[in-house]
Structure 1
Amino acid sequence: MNIISLFSGAGGLDLGFENQGFNIIWANEYDKSIWDTYRYNHKDTFLDTRSICDINSDEIPSQIRGIIGGPPCQSWSVAGCMRGIDDPRGKLFYDYLRILQDKQPYFFVAENVPGILSRRNHDAFKKIIREFENCGYNVCFSLLNTSDYGVPQDRKRVIIIGYRKDLGIVFDFNNLRKSRNTCSLYDAIYDLPEPLAALSKNKSNYDTGEFLNNEYFIGDFSSIFMSRNRIRNWDQPSFTIQASGRQAPIFPGSDPMIKIEKDKWEFSGDNYRRLSVRECARIQTFS
């Protein structure tokens, strides 16, 4: 079944759909730092690297059954000051809607951060759902946690799914089957060898042996990072893996963090490090 991908990033969502038998024939990603990674891992997909704002719908393949993708989430997140639809990145939702309206595939899947459901963004989110419906789709959404579905990570995301109204289908989130057991950090990364410290904050070790990218980011920790506990035990899922290596959670074998006062934590010893790039990839269920 042919589908297209918008705001594709490195292609994680695309990989999930490919593993379920979908064929992604066209994708769009504007961030040039991601292009090589996407192309290397999705060799049969044409990657359009222009801004989505500059792409006309008639330049996108028409023989498709679905559209997937998550418009940039920074403008809806707490860390991004929750500017929502007032942020230029938040407005990119309208380009998703524009292409959906013009292509009219059987279904679409969009995802975003929990902040899109905040009280501050309530009216904007309702408007977005209404616009999806106006494109001709039966729309539903739910806040899901990936740890409920076999991922060793607490990662909450709002999933929006729509089926074209003439198909008479409404997606039912109640039919999703949760995993019986929570996948833990032990399950995900315990077999990996001890990683190397990066050569510097901005320079990697390129030869780390059998496991590529088996190194961790070094450098200072921000006051925001130190405002709460960042260590999970081996028998727990990881905290959310963020985009920045500097914000990676602390390795579960590290000395515990202790609370000093409100919004201020410290390490209880000298044995601690961030999770490595490879550990973060495993936790996100990349092979």
Structure 2
Amino acid sequence: MQTSLFDLLPPNLPKPIAKIFTFVDLFAGIGGFRLPLSQLGGHCLAYAEIDREAIATYQNNWNSPELAPNLGDVSQVEQLPLNLDLVVGGVPCQAWSIAGKTLGFADPLGKLWFDVCRLIEQSQPKAFLLENVKGLTEPRHRGSFDWILHHLRNSGYCVYWQILNSYDFGLPQDRDRLFLWGLRRDLPNCNQFKFFPPSVKPCHLYDFLEDLPNQPVKKRKFSPQLLFGNRIPASRGRFQRSDELNDFFLFTDVRDGHTTIHSWDLMETSDRQKLICETLLKNRRKKKYGSRDGNPLNFSHLQALIPNLQRSELKQLVDQNIFRITADHLFDFENSKISTGINGVARIFLPHAQAIGTLTASGTKDFIATATLPDAEPQEYKQNFIKSIYLPGKFRALTPQDYAKLQGFSEDFAIHPNPAIAKKQFGNAVSIPIVYHLAQLIIQYFSLEISARFRDPPQSPFKRGR
């Protein structure tokens, strides 16, 4: 049995409950907002979406377009229904994301925030709840974000925002997103809103994906110096602890670490060849060779670093597709982009990993191991992984069904029949549990019936189960 929103709702919340508030679903996608709002008693008056495939998935799941008309392009919507309770939407994020061109308001998609602010100001809903990438709050876009906050406050709202991670809401996905919400100032206590993520138990990939071995791994503690030497990387992720072995393996030639797999680890190479590769790896980020994050080196540079180096040795590494020669006749790694990985694999997560990386619309080259990897000494850990998981092919790609579960969609949600399109849609979607928990509190400010239902704070809707 798998975890899903519908069978894990709080026991004191009837399913389904009466329709007790109204909402409009902007930039609706496939319905990541509508799903939890419907369970909380929301009645969708209209939605807005222009992507043909997303519309098909949306209508396939609700099958009532006549009851909730599609408003289409948000920039062309003159006004929303009056006496509206809630406006929600995942405003397009490409203008603010590092995966896009980060053009902000200079991007037509970035300008859609102007339309969102305009529609909220005109229709004066009791509340709104919007989602975007956290990049909108970062220094390079902070001026734009401040404009949005200022405009919404001037439109008559108490405005709040927070960066929330899907993992804190019971999903094994490391996904940070901006959530921005507001309550109309005539609502009682609108300026006293407080929100904290629910109390949920730590989760693992094997809790959600049933084909993975449900085998907890007791992780030993190691000295950080043993794992990283004298320099512990500053850019460690939330789920990478400095005194434990990582629970994923990164495939790249331009980084190092106890769970980094290099191309020379996966093919027959001599100790001398490994030395040459490791020398380029350790020196290519030094500023003396260039200002970029990674710089190709010329033969003279390498010759000064490696005793008795011959050009023929570098040519052999080029022939093995480990090195490449740049247009400037410099030497760099063939696999010089972390995102592309090696042989089509960027990362492989172990079943006991607490969270996979962020699911995106553009897709990832992340895979999941289908076998466990026992704890080991650091120097043996990587070799054990290569021998027992990578070489035997005991790993698999993520499926659309995986994407759905890792975003909190219910098992009966109708997925697009094209796997590539389905994964794009789920990567674009909002994580269901975050909307559920936030909306549950927001609507209490304007709905007496909801407030009565939640007079006693409900238990978290997320528990473990297979």
TM-score category, normalised to shorter length = 0.7 to 0.9
* SS of the residue 2:33 aligns to: helix
- Which of residues 94, 119, 122 in structure 1 aligns to 2:114? 94
Output aligned runs, 1:1-287, within 5 Å.
1-44=21-64, 45-48=67-70, 50-57=72-79, 60-168=80-188, 169-170=190-191, 172-173=193-194, 175-191=195-211, 223-226=337-340, 230-235=347-352, 236-244=354-362, 246-247=363-364, 249-253=366-370, 268-269=390-391, 271=393, 272-287=395-410
Q: TM-score, normalised by structure 2?
A: 0.49
Percent of aligned positions that are identical:
32
Q: Distance in 2 between matches of 1:93 and 1:83?
A: 13
Q: TM-score, normalised by structure 1?
A: 0.78
1:176/1:224 CA distance change after superposition, 3 Å = same
1:281/1:192 CA distance change after superposition, 3 Å = farther
Cα RMSD over matched residues? 2.7
Deviation string 1:97-124 (CA, Å, 9 cap, x unpaired) is: 1110111011000111011111100111
* SS of the residue 2:178 aligns to: strand
Q: Is the 8 A contact 1:10 1:34 kept in 2?
A: yes
Q: Distance in 2 between matches of 1:90 and 1:255?
A: 44
In the TM superposition, residue 82 of structure 1 has moved relative to its aligned partner by: 1.5
* SS of the residue 2:186 aligns to: helix
Q: Distance in 1 between matches of 2:103 and 2:338?
A: 19
1:102/1:153 CA distance change after superposition, 3 Å = same
* SS of the residue 1:40 aligns to: helix
Deviation string 1:200-251 (CA, Å, 9 cap, x unpaired) is: xxxxxxxxxxxxxxxxxxxxx994523595333222122111113x425312
Equivalent residues, number: 247
Q: Is the 8 A contact 1:8 1:28 kept in 2?
A: yes
1:268/1:81 CA distance change after superposition, 3 Å = farther
In the TM superposition, residue 14 of structure 1 has moved relative to its aligned partner by: 1.6
1:224/1:27 CA distance change after superposition, 3 Å = farther
In the TM superposition, residue 13 of structure 1 has moved relative to its aligned partner by: 1.8
CA radius of gyration, larger in:
2
Q: Which protein, 1 or 2, shows the higher relative CO under an 8 Å CA cutoff with sep ≥ 6?
A: 2
Q: Is the 8 A contact 1:29 1:47 kept in 2?
A: no
Q: Distance in 2 between matches of 1:22 and 1:252?
A: 40
1:146/1:31 CA distance change after superposition, 3 Å = same
Q: Is the 8 A contact 1:85 1:91 kept in 2?
A: yes
In the TM superposition, residue 253 of structure 1 has moved relative to its aligned partner by: 2.5
* SS of the residue 1:140 aligns to: strand
Q: Distance in 2 between matches of 1:224 and 1:249?
A: 12
Q: Distance in 2 between matches of 1:73 and 1:232?
A: 27
Read off the aligned partner of 2:84 and give its amino acid letter.
Answer: I
Q: Is the 8 A contact 2:46 2:71 kept in 1?
A: no
In the TM superposition, residue 270 of structure 1 has moved relative to its aligned partner by: 5.9
Q: Distance in 2 between matches of 1:183 and 1:247?
A: 21
Q: Is the 8 A contact 1:3 1:23 kept in 2?
A: yes
Q: Distance in 2 between matches of 1:191 and 1:20?
A: 32
Q: Is the 8 A contact 2:350 2:369 kept in 1?
A: yes
Q: Distance in 2 between matches of 1:137 and 1:253?
A: 49
Q: Distance in 2 between matches of 1:248 and 1:255?
A: 20
Q: Distance in 2 between matches of 1:172 and 1:182?
A: 27
Q: Is the 8 A contact 1:161 1:171 kept in 2?
A: no
* SS of the residue 2:115 aligns to: helix
